Chains A and B, each alone.
Chain A
Amino acid sequence: MSRTIAIHSSKGGTGKTSLALNLAGSYVSSGKKVCLMDMDSKGPSLHSFFNVTPNNYFNEYLRGAISIHETLTNIDLDRSGQKGELYVAFSDPEIGAIREFSTMDRKWQTKILKRLINAKKDLEGLGIDIIILDTSPGVEFGSVNAVAVSDFVLVTVKPNKICIQSIEQVINGIYRMLGKECAIIENMCPESKDHYCSLSNTNLEVPILESILCRCDISTLVCKEIITLQRPEHPYSKSVFRIRDKLDSHLNLD
């Protein structure tokens, strides 16, 4: 049975895409067949990282034009000698496609939700073990649809007042309302806990799976490689591996 993890945040710039890529890498390194889906149709970014032009964009599937397997690009990981496989569904970065998806009406959103549910079932049929949804930040149709079809929500937060105040709304107003299990990843944390506003001091009653330390080299590395595959000993990779292991027990994947 496949599991779907949505990576979401209430604010932008919290490291969702980096976490999505590296979590995907961590599951590949443990031999899993992973599908990473760019659900940020208003600000797609995975195409820039992989620098590929797929045969079909995920947008075509959402339009009902093609099947989900036609949107998948198999990422060549041969050189890294990994046991698992990585497939990516890219969102169309062209401004015309972004404009089109930004102005779709509510009937269309109902169809999208149905198609996402069917995509999950089809991906399971294709033998995918883990589906990772890289969502757009905040509360809008694309991200809430992604949360609605997920089995678990990882919410990335920067440890500052603005992020912490807005996180409560998405946890209570979206995740809990949709009956979703969720956990927090504190990202870009200063080394000393005295200098940041930790979520461990709040009453959210949501587990904090990991507090990832802020390091200058991460922002450079995440743009050019999947750190968990290329540098498994890097502190960022170790944080992501811990997240994966904790997720496994939440998702009964042990």
Chain B
Amino acid sequence: MCDTAKIELILKNLDEINEKLDKIIENNNHNHNHNNNDISEKEDDHGHTLDVMTLLTLPEHLRTTATALFELGTATADSVAEITKKERAVESNYLNQLVRMGHVKKQRLGRKVYFLVDDK
């Protein structure tokens, strides 16, 4: 197998690992919310709101990711990575951090995972 083919195979495997990690995080969040219903209801105020003042308090890497997501509306990690010029896996990690912080919502449509700033 030539080098290019090897690299493509590695990238394909990394993408699959990322998808599996996304699913694990998604399931964990679901279970966490299910087990902590009371806590979630209490936290469901404006503490998680990603308004512009909250954006300013985020560390630079998350602020860049969140700003790109604001621009895009609903987006995959790939589209965010295109704007921020970072690796898709890195952006996926940052976006999932924002999901865990309650700032961003995550939706799975078929094989793709979409993120959007939560304003509900």
Contacts and interface: CB of A to CB of B under 8 A. Distances in A.
5 closest Cβ pairs, A-B complex: A109-B51, A106-B49, A110-B119, A106-B51, A106-B46
A110 B63 contact: no
Given A177-B56, A177-B63, A105 B46 contact: yes
Contacts of B49: 106-107, 109-110
B117 A114 contact: yes
A109 B56 contact: no
Interface in A109-131: 109-111, 113-114, 117-118
Contact of A145 (B46, B52, B71, B119): B52
A133 to B, nearest CB: 14
Given A113-B52, A178-B56, A107 B67 contact: no
A179 B67 CA distance: 10
Contacts of A111: 119
* Interface-central residue, A106, A109, A114, by most chain B CB under 10 Å: A106
Interface string B40-60: 000000100111111110000
A101 interface: no
Interface string B94-114: 000000000000000000000
Contacts of B50: 110
A229 to B, nearest CB: 34
Interface residues of A, number: 19
A235 B103 CA distance: 49
B83 to A, nearest CB: 12
Given A110-B51, A111-B119, A114-B73, A174 B56 contact: yes
Interface of B: 46, 49-56, 63-64, 67, 70-71, 73, 117-120
Nearest to B56: A177
A106 B64 CA distance: 20
Contacts of B51: 106-107, 109-110, 113, 141
A144 B52 contact: yes
A170 B46 CA distance: 25
Contacts of A118: 73
Given A117-B71, A178-B67, A179-B67, A109 B117 contact: no
A13 interface: no
A177 B53 CA distance: 11
A148 B119 contact: no
A105 B53 CA distance: 12
Given A114-B117, A114-B119, A177-B63, A109 B71 contact: no
B52 A109 contact: yes
Nearest to A115: B119
Contacts of B63: 177
Given A106-B54, A109-B49, A110-B49, 7 more contacts: A107-B46, A107-B119, A111-B119, A117-B73, A144-B52, A148-B52, A179-B64
* Interface-central residue, B46, B52, B55, by most chain A CB under 10 Å: B52
A114 B52 contact: no
B70 A113 contact: yes
* Interface-central residue, B49, B51, B56, by most chain A CB under 10 Å: B51
Nearest to A111: B119
A236 B117 CA distance: 43
A173 interface: yes
A173 B51 CA distance: 16
Nearest to B103: A110
B101 to A, nearest CB: 14
